[in-house]
Amino acid sequence: MTRQILLLPLLGIALAGLVQSQSTTKALEDPAGEAAKQEILALLKDYDQATKTGNADASSPLYNDDMLLLSERFGRGEVLTKAQVMDLHRSGRLKNLKYVHNNIRLRAFGGNTVVMTGHSDTILEYKGKLSKGPRLFTFVFVKLDGKWQIVSQHISDIPKGDGPWN
C-alpha cells in the first residue's frame, strides 16, 4: 500500500510533464509563422532577380527606408543606409558576377517578423575591386503596412579554411 501511495504523486508529476510538453509543442507549431515564411520565400524570388541584375528600382521597394546593411569587404566593416546601397547599384560600383545562396534557414517570430540566415557563394565587383565569397548573411524581414520589407542585413566574409563550406 505504501508503494502505491508513493507512486501516485510520481504518476501525477509524469502526466503533468507530458501535458506541459504537448502544450509547448503546440505553441511551436505557429501557423502565422509558417505563413510568414512562405511569403518570404515568394518575396526572395523577386529579391534574387533584382540583386543578380543589379536592378535598384526593382529592389528598392523590398528595403525599408530606415534599413541598415552591415557588411564586411576586404577586411573592413561598413554600415550602409538604403540610399547608399541603392546608389552603389545605380552607379555600377556594386556588380554581382556570381550569386548563389545556400543553407538558407528562416525563423519566424509570430506573423510579422522573419529572420533569414544562410551561406553565400558570391563574386562581386565592389568599388572597382573583385570580392569573392564565401560569406554568411542575416536578413531581418518585418511586415509593415501589409508588405514585407528588409529592415536589417548583415553580410560577413568567411576567411578561407574556416567553416564547412571551404
Say whether pLDDT at 15 is over 50.
no
- Find out if CATH 3.40.50.720 is the number for domain 31-157: no
Domain positions in the chain are 31-157
Measured CA to CA, the distance from residue 139 to residue 105 in angstroms comes to: 10
Question: At 78, is the secondary structure helix, strand, or coil?
Answer: strand
pLDDT digits 0-9 by tens, 43-66:
998 888 888 888 899 999 999 999
Give residue 101's identity as a one-letter amino acid code: H
Measured CA to CA, the distance from residue 84 to residue 63 in angstroms comes to: 12
User: Residue 57: what are its φ and ψ, rounded to 5°?
Assistant: -65, -35
pLDDT digits 0-9 by tens, 114-146:
999 999 998 989 889 998 889 999 999 999 999
Q: Output the average pLDDT for the chain.
A: 82
